[in-house]
Amino acid sequence: MHLLRRIFIFTAFILHFSSLAVTSASRQIDFKTLRERMVSEQIGARGVKDRRVLEVMRKIERHRFVSPSIAHLAYADMPLPIGEGQTISQPYIVALMTELAQLKDTDRVLEIGTGSGYQAAILAELAKEVYTIDILPNLADRARILLKSLDYKNIQVKSGDGYLGWPEFAPFDAIIVTCAPKDVPSALVEQLAEGGRLVIPVGDRYQELKLFTKTSGKIEENNVIPVSFVPMIRKR
């Protein structure tokens, strides 16, 4: 029994020390330089040209939106886990979707799939109002607390069914969906303002990032690139 107790104490000490080591290492990382490289090597190099989008991607501290244990990977060219089986999207995809939305500083934007809150923060820097929905209450609550701590006053977060949109605040000048439905939810098309843009990955095993634009009440559809997103979940 004494031996087991010693092993337990030793294991707890090692885990605690490892956690401190990760936190200490994160403090020593030059995140600003990593952001600059992310923008130049991953985003600009792949064709994202919107100056405002590039500036915001340089500004927002992506490492704040992931666990401290993987903060050193925050600016890597890949999605990262955020819990609940969800991910924070690859930086290039965040930038591309934001550029496709063609945001103005007077726009009202809806995001479906709050996740970590990173995309919402990017949108809030470029638009007047951001409304973001996540079907998972824990993620919505965590993002709300983080975004409030970062002093975002133009973001509203709620937990709900993204398939239904947020009719109370419609119409939206832009809608960005960060999870993939098999088909485009009709409510999102209906809640799009005249001239509005809907950026959404669509599909099951094969997914395509699509841009829908509403002009004179008609919807124009354009395929952008193949993508891989977590599936869009419905409330049962």
Q: Over the stretch 4-62, which tens digit does the pLDDT of each residue have?
A: 344 344 434 433 444 444 444 556 789 999 999 999 999 999 999 999 999 999 999 99
Cis (ω within 30 of 0) for the bond into 171? yes
Asked, for residue 36, whether it belongs to a domain, the answer is no
Asked, for residue 9, whether it belongs to a domain, the answer is no
User: CA-CA distance, 157 to 234, in Å (whole number)?
Assistant: 18
Q: Indicate which CATH number applies to the domain containing 145.
A: 3.40.50.150
Asked, for residue 58, whether it belongs to a domain, the answer is no
Measured between its terminal Cα atoms, the distance across the chain in Å is 48
Question: Is 149 a residue of the active site?
Answer: no
CA angle 198, 83, 76 (to 5 degrees): 70
How many domains are there within the chain?
1
DSSP label at residue 78: S
Whether the full predicted model's pTM is greater than 0.95, yes or no, is no
Q: What is the residue range of 174's domain?
A: 77-227
Asked, for residue 16, whether it belongs to a domain, the answer is no
Asked, for residue 53, whether it belongs to a domain, the answer is no
Please give the chain's pLDDT, 236 residues, in tens. Answer: 444 344 344 434 433 444 444 444 556 789 999 999 999 999 999 999 999 999 999 999 999 999 999 999 999 999 999 999 999 999 999 999 999 999 999 999 999 999 999 999 999 999 999 999 999 999 999 999 999 999 999 999 999 999 999 999 999 999 999 999 999 999 999 999 999 999 999 999 899 999 999 999 899 999 999 999 999 998 76
> Exactly one of 26, 40, 69, 89 is catalytic; which is it?
89
